[in-house]
Amino acid sequence: MSVEIKTAKGRRVWDSRGRPTIETEIELVSGAVGRAIAPAGASTGSGEAVDKRDGGDTFGGFDVKAGVAAVNGEIANCLRGLDASDQEQVDAALIELDGTANKSRLGGNALIATSMAVAHGAAAEAELPLWQYLGKGRDDFFLPLPEIQIFGGGAHAGRRVDVQDFMVIATGAKTYEQALEWTAEVYRCAGRIMTEAGLNQGVADEGGYWPAFVSNEQALDYLVRAIEGAGFIPGEDVAISLDIAATDFGKAGRYQLSADKREVDSDGLSEMLLRWIERYPIVAIEDPLGEDDPEAMAAFTAAAGDKVEVIADDFICTSASRIEEAHRGGACNTALIKPNQVGTLTETKAALDRSRQLGWESIVSARSGETEDTTIVHLAVGWGVKQLKVGSFSRSERMAKWNEGLRVAETLGQQGGRLAPRKSFPWG
């Protein structure tokens, strides 16, 4: 059967914020079909691939008719006849067609939806699930350890607290299924104690509780209480991970802490975070300093990097060259991998490969504006990434991904889904 691309069809669908986004459907000459949807971020790095939006008044300027038209026109014409099993060739054609450094002409959203759809089409032609197609030749598949939001803050929750994500990692779990079970108990307990205290304002962007905390540290205190209340030992069974998203509230080494009603410099923010690491069972901190504060990021990594994962998100934007630069400068030790930040799967894999070559850890991540698309789960399993960050343990755009992991584990014949060995993680 032929893996030649016959058609590419774009359509406008809707994400978890009720905003338009792009779905691409690829059909091969053989009749095999692949389909994927582009997500969208809220706090975005300056180096990210640019979503193509229509502007104007409709849907607050977020419509994607031009991006859909690009898929149905230029992109479809460019891909017709190409070999879907040659992902590098397909992505190179997309990059050349766009012709900009940040994917702004055709749109990073149009390109990533198309790139992922082509991979799904090739996998369908091979009669394999995407994770198995991507991991051809491997026989050591495992499930990624979930990193799951309990409280949402920052840009995801009206800035009631400054930290964007207060998350947990079931560091003591033996299987993927057990990690989900433990997190479900922590999530349930957190909701109960917040409701009892009158601190729950609803649900944040990624499904975590929207808190009415008076300080960032109060959120950490309640998270520890939730872990203990669910019957787990903080730091041994279940630990804390934070996404500070400092670029979102800092500029030129000055940071506005709204929850604490004060401004701090780079040293002040770093000192606060280092105190938290000493006081709370924290094993990972994402974007602790701003993307425009590389020296401070390097200093923080030197101080904390032997204790926690210092995760680069806005700082690297899933770019192999930015990862190289960060490593050379001594900043961070873990790469957050978001396909839509860079625009194609080939570039995403290049960033992952470079991080591994440099000895970094890696985490495949969803975005705050998500859909039912489960491609990132398949990327994590197929590429052998040890951790997966999706959001919280509620809302179907999140649960679709956690549930897909359970299906993969079942297909593998693994009872509950084998995780990478604990000793292979920094906290092992």
Catalytic positions, written as ranges: 206, 338
Residue that is written with structure tokens 């540290």 in the block: 217
Asked if 51 and 109 count as a contact pair (C-beta separation under 8 A), the reply is yes
Residue that is written with structure tokens 């009158």 in the block: 198
Strand-by-strand arrangement of the 262-265 sheet: 250-251, 254-257, 262-265
Asked if 109 and 15 count as a contact pair (C-beta separation under 8 A), the reply is no
Task: Mention every residue, 6+ apart, whose C-beta is less than 8 A from residue 175.
Answer: 143, 409, 414, 415, 416, 417, 418, 419
Asked if 211 and 161 count as a contact pair (C-beta separation under 8 A), the reply is yes
**Rg value, the chain, Cα:** 21
Cα–Cα distance measured from residue 196 to residue 215, given in angstroms and rounded to the nearest whole number = 18
Angle in degrees, 0-180, between the axes of helices 87-98 and 345-357, rounded to the nearest 10: 110
Residue 366's region, left for phi above 0, alpha for psi from -120 to 50, else beta, is beta
Q: Which amino acid does the sequence have at 342?
A: V
Strand duo 309-312 + 282-286: pairing: parallel
Q: What is the dihedral of CA 262, 268, 269, 271, to 10 degrees?
A: -130
Residue-wise DSSP of 182-250: HHHHHHHHHHHHHHHTT-EEEE-TTSSEEE--SSHHHHHHHHHHHHHHTT--BTTTBEEEEE--GGGTE
Angle in degrees, 0-180, between the axes of helices 266-279 and 216-229, rounded to the nearest 10: 20
List beta partners, residue 33: 27
Residue-wise DSSP of 264-289: EEHHHHHHHHHHHHHHS-EEEEE--S
Task: Mention every residue, 6+ apart, whose C-beta is less than 8 A from residue 58.
Answer: none
Asked if 418 and 386 count as a contact pair (C-beta separation under 8 A), the reply is no
Quick one: 370 exposed, middle or buried, by C-beta within 10 A (0-12, 13-18, 19+)?
buried
